[in-house]
Structures are given as C-alpha cells and as structure tokens.
Amino acid sequence: MDLLIARIVDGFNNGVVYGFLALALVCVYRGTGHLNLAQGEMAMFSAFIAYALHAVGFPVVLAILGAVAIGFIAGGVVERVLIRPLGHGADYSILLVTIGLFLVLNAGAGVIWGGDPLTFPAAVPSAPDDYISFFGTRLRYQQLLILAVLLVVMTALYLLFKYTRLGLAMRVTAGNPDSARLLGMRVNQINSLGWALAAAVGALVGGLISPSTTLTTGMMFNFLIYAAAAATLGGFDSPGGAVLAGIVLGVLENLIGSYISWVGSDLKQAVALVILLGVLMVRPTGLFGTKKVERV
C-alpha cells in the first residue's frame, strides 16, 4: 500500500510539471491560437538565465523571479518580431518558426553554458530531512512549493480567462482577429500578452524544477511532449483542464509503468502517447476543445 501511494505521489509530482508546462501552451493558444513547439526550450533557457542571475549573486528566489520577468518580456518580443509579421492563418510558417526557435534556444544554451549539467539550488530548504511525511512517502518541500505555485498560477489564469474582459478578449482575438479589431480590441497587445504570459509561466517551471532535474539543455524535451498531450486532453483553452490532464497523465503513466511489467519504464512515455493518440482519434479536437465548424 505504501508503495502504491509512493508511486501515485511520484506520478503526481511529474504530472504537476506536465500540467505546469501545459499551462504555458494554453497561454499561447489563448493568445494567438497556435502551438508553440519551442515552449519547453524557452522554459529551459529561462532556467539557465536564472542560473546566471544566481551565479552573479542574486538569491535563488530573486533569480527565479528575475528570469520570469525577463521571460515575460522576451515572450512578448518573440511574438512581436517573429509571429505577428506572419499574419493570421499562416499555421505552417508559424510552426516552422517555432521549430527554428527550438533549435536556436536549445543549441544556444549549449553554446553559452556548455554541455555539462549544472546545479541550481532549490528555493526552499532541501536537505535530506526536509520533507513532510505523507502516508509513508516523503513530500519534499520543493515539490510542495511547485504544487503550490502551480495552483496559484492556474487559478490566476483561470480567473483571468473566465472573469476578466481581457481574458474574453484573448479568446476572441485568437479565433477571429479581424472581428476583434472591429470591436475595438487591441489585438496586437493581446497576442503579445499570450506569449509573454506563456514565457513567464515557462520560466517559473524551469526555475522550480531544475534543482531536481539538474540543469541541462535537454531537460524540457520530454516534458514538452507530455505537456502537449496534457493540453490536448484537457483542452487547449482550459487552464484547469490542462493541469488536471497533466496530473492524471503523470499518475497513470507511473502506475501503468510500475504495475504492468510488460510496459516497464521504457514504454512509460508511450502510455501517455497512446492515450493522446486514442483521444485524438475519438475527438479530433481534444477532449474539451471547442469544435471548429467550417462553412463550405
């Protein structure tokens, strides 16, 4: 029983990260209606920036916040410079740009900081006995912090999207920018905001999880795929759904990987992917996504 709980908690912790990154994907989607394949790399790069800030003397928390702020600005700039000029509906071109961005950030981090893993300290005490006991497993403070921050961010975004005019405007401008403009909405600012928020969220994730994953250029690779799966399952326009889906994915994958030996650890990720594929077959626009209706 203890083992089961330990595995659930383990999966839960992974799922939290998936959901967190999925939130960033949701922000971009809400902002401009696209999938940002470079989201993970942006988060990774921000984590490295936090490292750099810390290395010049900032305390951990400030370094992370600094990276978040820089990420926010950078996200907005990326949208302004790389995405907006391509216009609405240039899906393929935008996908290519995000792939290019992926490469630049991934390789760039390697060029700037070298290929060796770096250590980034945790924001809260993380000595071996800094944990809370939970039904026989140890919940480390850092994990609890990540969860807490995730819940705060998720709630904030949910409230933003659902109850503010800005949030409503975001949904409209992503889907139909021309109508939005005619209604007086400041489409450009809203698009940038989506990307800026996403980058900020990503920076937050990166900064918080790097202590446990060690800081390497490949750290976000896997997470992106899970995050994309989570956002698809939970709905690209639903912060709560994406987080919930992320957590469910994390737990499911871990349990299936542990208890079905045929799957083992190699195919754990495959579980998430198979679920993703299965869902998309049945509902091609995701579990909670809104269906797009085309007029002939």
Partner 1 sequence: MALPLEIRAGSRVDLSWRLGRVLGIVLLVVTTPYLVETFRLSQITGALILAIAVVGLNLLSGFAGQISLGHAAFFGIGAYTTGVMTVTYDYGVVTSIVAGMALCFVVGVVVGLPALRVQGMYLALVTLAVGVLLPSLIRRFDDLTGGSSGLFGMTFDAPEGITYFVGRAGQTVWLYYVTVVALLLSCLVVWNLMTGRVGRAVITLRDNEAAATVMGVNRAFVRTVVFGISAAIAGLAGSLFAVNSGVLTPETVSLLLTINLLVAMVLGGSGSFWGPVFGAFIIYFVPVWTSDLSQGPISGVIFGALVIALVFVLPGGLAGGLTSLLRRLVIVVPQPPTQGEVDQTSSLPDDLSDDPAGFEAEPTTDPEPRPAARLARR
User: Least separation, in Å, of the C-beta of 192 and partner 1?
Assistant: 18
Helix 187-213 crosses helix 141-163 at what angle (to 10 degrees)?
Answer: 170
Helix 268-282 crosses helix 239-259 at what angle (to 10 degrees)?
Answer: 130
Helix 165-175 crosses helix 187-213 at what angle (to 10 degrees)?
Answer: 100
Q: Which is nearer to partner 1, 35 or 139 (CB)?
A: 35
User: Least separation, in Å, of the C-beta of 112 and partner 1?
Assistant: 8
Q: Which is nearer to partner 1, 58 or 221 (CB)?
A: 221
Q: Which stretch binds partner 1 (CB under 8 A): 4-12, 31-39, 116-124, 198-206?
A: 31-39
Helix or strand or coil: residue 1? Answer: coil
Residues between 228 and 247 that touch partner 1 (CB under 8 A): 228-229, 232
Q: Which of 3, 111, 132, 260 binds partner 1 (CB under 8 A)?
A: 111
Q: Which is nearer to partner 1, 85 or 125 (CB)?
A: 85
Tell me how far CA of residue 32 lies from CA of 39, 90, 109, 177, 184, in angstroms. 14, 11, 26, 9, 17
Amino acid making up residue 248: V
Each residue 119-148 as x (binds partner 1 by CB under 8 A) or -, in order, gives: ------------------------------
- Binding residue count for partner 1, defined by CB under 8 A: 46
Is residue 141 packed enough to be buried (19+ CB in 10 Å), middle (13-18) or exposed (0-12)?
middle
Phi first, then psi: give them for residue 70, nearest 5 degrees.
-60, -40
User: Least separation, in Å, of the C-beta of 32 and partner 1?
Assistant: 12
Residues between 32 and 91 that touch partner 1 (CB under 8 A): 34-35, 37, 82, 85-86, 91
Q: Do the beta carbons of residue 112 and residue 233 sit within 8 Å?
A: no
Taking residue 11's Cβ as centre, other Cβ atoms within 10 Å add up to 23
User: Least separation, in Å, of the C-beta of 95 and partner 1?
Assistant: 6
Residues between 82 and 101 that touch partner 1 (CB under 8 A): 82, 85-86, 91-93, 95-97, 99-101
User: Least separation, in Å, of the C-beta of 182 and partner 1?
Assistant: 25
DSSP-assigned states of every residue in 76-115: HHHIIIIIGGG-TT-HHHHHHHHHHHHHHHHHHHHHHH-S
Q: Do the beta carbons of residue 87 and residue 33 sit within 8 Å?
A: no
Q: Which stretch binds partner 1 (CB under 8 A): 102-110, 135-143, 168-176, 201-209?
A: 102-110
Each residue 277-296 as x (binds partner 1 by CB under 8 A) or -, in order, gives: x--xx--xxx---------x
User: Least separation, in Å, of the C-beta of 33 and partner 1?
Assistant: 9
Residues between 261 and 280 that touch partner 1 (CB under 8 A): 264, 266-267, 269-270, 273-274, 276-277, 280
Q: Which is nearer to partner 1, 82 or 255 (CB)?
A: 82
Residues 6+ apart with CB under 8 A from 188: 80, 84
Helix or strand or coil: residue 204? Answer: helix
Closest CA to 60 of 157, 132, 116, 142: 142
Contact residues for partner 1, defined by CB under 8 A? 34-35, 37, 82, 85-86, 91-93, 95-97, 99-108, 110-111, 114-115, 221, 225, 228-229, 232, 264, 266-267, 269-270, 273-274, 276-277, 280-281, 284-286, 296
